[in-house]
Amino acid sequence: MKKDINPTPVKDVAVAVIKEQNELFEDIWNVYLINLQNQKLEQVIVSSKGYLKLENGEETKTSMLRHGLGDIEGNSFTLIEPIMENLFGLHNEYWLTYFNNNELLDKKYIFLAETIKEENFTNIPLIEKKGILIK
């Protein structure tokens, strides 16, 4: 039965981690969902968690958070959540679920441990800032 299911791949939707400054000029990190499609994403939900399993079997993990983001218009972006720097040593997973033309779509985005660094920054489309992007 599984061979009969052909899930539609998610295209032109990205997750970005961006270093910004708050109103007190302190560095903060934010995670954004970016819709690069022309059509809107409907009933968007993103779950996030951090985890790491060491070679000695020791595990570290965060609580899973679920974010109901509603509809995201085409060629726009929205904040998912702020992220603390001390979580960059973990794998940070964002699991996106949404409807598109009455079809349920989902995709998992994983920022691997120790990859959220300024040396890995790239230009982030639509937001016009530098950060880490996964499409």
Residue 4 has pLDDT above 60, yes or no: no
CA-based nearest residue to 107, from 32, 21, 44: 44
- The Cα 73–Cα 99 span in angstroms is 12
What is the amino acid identity at position 89? Answer: G
Residue ranges of the domains in the chain?
Answer: 2-134
What count of other Cβ atoms lies within 10 Å of the Cβ of residue 116? 21
pLDDT at 82: 98
Phi, psi of 115 (to 5 degrees): -100, -10
Q: Report the C-alpha gap between 104 and 75 in whole angstroms.
A: 20
Q: pLDDT (tens digit, 9 = 90+) per residue, 52-64?
A: 998 898 999 999 9
Per-residue pLDDT tens over the stretch 80-101? 999 999 999 999 999 999 999 8
Residue found by looking up tokens 């109901």 in the block: 68
CATH number 3.30.1380 given to 2-134: no
